[in-house]
Chains A and B, each alone.
Chain A
């Protein structure tokens, strides 16, 4: 158990910067999830913490100690790999005992620790098997057991569930959550599955092209995304974006106009903006209401998806290609071909400036 601090950490491969000035504070016992699109540097950042890659610039500390030049085994970290990477010629027991043996731990201690780990992960029946005689979920658990057996201060997971089928993934997700409650150790988890991120994390770190886009609790990221990127990345189906222009505004609120919606009074502080500026309106599918309408301002329904418990309604946008999505509980009265008006809930609308930064809600309103 330990805290992890990254101070202006950079990683350069050849001449390509991959991780750029990452600052991060991970508290003792926290469950932190790195998310981001493919290739944004999640794995690289994790491997920098593990010590599998060297840090090009900046400082990495674990429990207050700078560990930039410490080899992985001295950092007190354990890692679960995406492919599991179990030693194929060793039994489950030997796989879990290997690290302890290399650390010259006493035989009885090794046995105790392996058995204890096996009990937590329900591997007791499988200790004498080789990895090739295990199912995917069992291999996954052995991989976790191997990382845990040495009782590392920090556990790292790189997309540990991506090789499992959907139902097993849900089950293992729960097991990992329970494991964290039980062990209380610091865990850092990489995924691009946002359901995993939302459900597991105490704190989510959204990465984009090697930079930290936003850090926050799942709730904060969902409620108050700092940038359009985060807004679009967190939440499923993804947030709707509509081009808009500022009509009037000050530090207490504003009025914007969007094609197809008309003028809208919003609580955002636009003291820094000038009238006529181009903004982007963001509304989550679940915060959109539809009303029957006709005429030029109406949107046409192009598709309706029924998912059993809920319904997604897809609308032809006024600008751009991306269909707008409305989400509601089933049953839904809407049919393909109908014309509807969009009625966003002003309290749930996000507003982004030309640089895609979110505009804050006016303080007076936010307190109220």
Chain B
């Protein structure tokens, strides 16, 4: 009797230890960044795992730089535009791919999937030429274009899968009610596709928000930069000083909105990602 209770206890203990390890592994870097950002620069290199003093000077420092504020604005502009364009194109494309029968539909789907497999670096130079040709160099529009290219395949693929699962008779009922394809999409399908849209939209937002390589390559001046590049380019008083405090403060500043967004949408994301796994 007691030995059984003991094993039960050990099992439960083991479980929580495991959870603690995973949590530590996942959260510690972020936690340490938060702590570091709240330290005055003098204490930066004394190791401590607790916030001893609330020092917001790093935050004041970065927000007093107009280029950082400008970068946040650029990032918002680019990310929101990417989400909007990707969802608009994704929904219309997924209607065509998921609902309309035409020859070569599978081929189109496979090409879309194939495109999304190229690493960014592979298309960097080609894309650079395109952006130069379109006169979008050092312009947020160039970033919007290139991020959309990389986001769209995933968006289209997920939304198409979702769209295919909506019952055929629903669309036919709309047709009988006199709905055009556009009305069917916007007034019948869209309201049913929020979970999928929240998921793909959020992932597109995160990808655009965090993207570094294109942002570095396709922009030149401070006032066109996005946040990841701006953070990387924060420089200290001298060549030999890395301003860890402001860098951490900036990182925390740009990560928190993402965390909040994910929290808000987490239920939707789960239902979006598992849609179709079981009939519901």
Q: A residues touching B (Cβ–Cβ < 8 Å)?
A: 50, 52, 71-73, 77-79, 81-83, 85-89, 98-99, 102-103, 146-147, 150
Contact B177 A99 (CB under 8 A): yes
Q: Within 8 Å CB of A79, what residues of B?
A: 172-173, 176
Complexed CA–CA distance, A285 and B169 (Å): 40
The A-B contact count (CB < 8 A) is: 52
Contact A50 B176 (CB under 8 A): yes
Contact A150 B177 (CB under 8 A): yes
Q: Within 8 Å CB of B170, what residues of A?
A: 85, 87
Interface size class for chain B? 10 to 19
Q: Contacts A83-B167, A87-B188, A88-B192 given; indicate if A52 touches B172 (C-beta within 8 A).
A: yes
Complexed CA–CA distance, A286 and B175 (Å): 47
> Is B178's CB within 8 Å of the partner chain A?
yes
The 8 Å CB contact of A82, one of B169, B178, B187, B192, is B169
Determine how close the nearest CB of chain B comes to the CB of A304; give it in whole angstroms. Answer: 44
Q: Within 8 Å CB of A50, what residues of B?
A: 176
Determine how close the nearest CB of chain B comes to the CB of A105; give it in whole angstroms. Answer: 11
Contact A52 B167 (CB under 8 A): no
Q: Within 8 Å CB of A147, what residues of B?
A: 176
Contact B178 A102 (CB under 8 A): yes
Q: Contacts A85-B167, A89-B191, A89-B192 given; indicate if A102 touches B183 (C-beta within 8 A).
A: yes
Complexed CA–CA distance, A81 and B169 (Å): 7
Q: B residues touching A (Cβ–Cβ < 8 Å)?
A: 167, 169-170, 172-179, 183, 187-188, 191-192
Contact A72 B176 (CB under 8 A): yes
Q: Residue among A50, A88, A147 with the most chain B CB within 10 A?
A: A88
Given A81-B169, A83-B169, output 5 extra A-B contacts at Cβ < 8 Å.
A72-B175, A83-B167, A85-B173, A86-B173, A102-B183
Q: Within 8 Å CB of A52, what residues of B?
A: 172, 175-176
Q: Within 8 Å CB of B177, what residues of A?
A: 73, 98-99, 102, 146, 150
Complexed CA–CA distance, A81 and B188 (Å): 16
Q: Which residue in chain A gives the minimum CB-CB distance to B170?
A: A85
Complexed CA–CA distance, A35 and B178 (Å): 28
The 8 Å CB contact of A103, one of B167, B169, B172, B178, is B178
Some 30 contacts from A to B, beta carbons below 8 A apart, are A52-B172, A52-B175, A52-B176, A71-B175, A72-B175, A73-B177, A73-B178, A77-B176, A79-B173, A79-B176, A81-B169, A81-B172, A82-B169, A85-B167, A85-B169, A85-B170, A85-B172, A87-B170, A87-B188, A89-B191, A89-B192, A98-B174, A98-B177, A99-B176, A99-B178, A102-B177, A102-B179, A146-B173, A146-B177, A150-B178
